[in-house]
Amino acid sequence: MGAKTKNLRNILYLIGAGPGDPDLLTIKAYKMLRKAEVLLFDHLVNHEMLSIVPDSCLKVYVGKEPYADFTPQEDIHTLIAHYCREYGAVVRLKGGDPYIFGRGFEELLFAERLGIEVRYVPGISSMQGTGFHHIPLTHRGVSDGIWALTGTKKDGRLSSDLQLAIQSNSTVVIYMGMKKLDEIARTYVMCGKGDTSAAIIQHATLSTQREVVCKVGDLLNAARGSGLSHPAIIVIGEVVRLYAAHRYNFVDSFQCNMY
C-alpha cells in the first residue's frame, strides 16, 4: 500500500477502528492495516490494533485525550501532508467511525485540497456498543429513531438540538458529554422529562466496560457514585429499561443499578 517513493499516487486511508474491541474491525480495515507503512492513530484506538501493522510500519500517535494533552487538528493535517508526500500512502486510524464525531471529513477536505486521494473505511460507532449491554437504540413501539448529539461543541457548549430531541419519541445518544451531565439532567428536568431512563456506558465492547443505569435527572450522582468518567457515551430513552423490564419485570419503577 505504498513504498517510500514520490512516484506513487498520494492516498489517505480514513479507517474506523470501531468502539474498542479489535475483533470488531471490518475485514477491509484489517487488510489495510496489514499493509500499512505509515499509521497515524488516535487516543481511543485500542493499542492491540497496533500489532496488526507490519513491524516496519511507522506509527505516529496523534491523539486528543479529553481534558488533557492533545494533538491540534492543524498539526494532524501537516503530518498527513508530510507522510503522504514522503510515502505515497498513509493510514489514518480513528476510534469509532471517522465521520461520526471523528473529524474525518475535515481531514478529507484538507487532503483533497492538496490533491491527495481519500479512501474511507467505516467503523462501528461507539453508540452501537449499547447492544453489548442489551440496550437497543430503536425498538418498535418504543423508539422511532436516534438523535446522536455532541455534548461539547467547538465553543464548549452543549448542542442546542437536545431541546428538540427531548420532545421526540426517539433515543438520544450523547457523545463527549461527561462534563455536561448536570446540564443534561437539568434540561430534561426543566422539560418535565427527569424520570426518563438513562445509561452511561464506559469502554463499551472492552473487558473494562462498565455501565450505570438511572433516571436522567440522576445522571451526575449516578456517575459519581459509580466512579464513571470519560470516555463514555450517554444513552437516554425508554429503550434503556427494556432489557431490565424483560428480565426483572421492572415496568413501573427503575432504580439506579450497576451492571
The Cα 30–Cα 45 span in angstroms is 14
Among 42, 94, 180, 215, the one annotated catalytic: 42
Among 35, 59, 64, 179, the one annotated catalytic: 64
By CB atoms closer than 10 A (0-12, 13-18, 19+), residue 26 is: middle
Q: Which three cell numbers stand for residue 22?
A: 479489535
Can 97 be counted among the known catalytic residues?
A: no
Can 64 be counted among the known catalytic residues?
A: yes
- 149 forms beta bridges with 174
Give catalytic residue positions.
42, 64
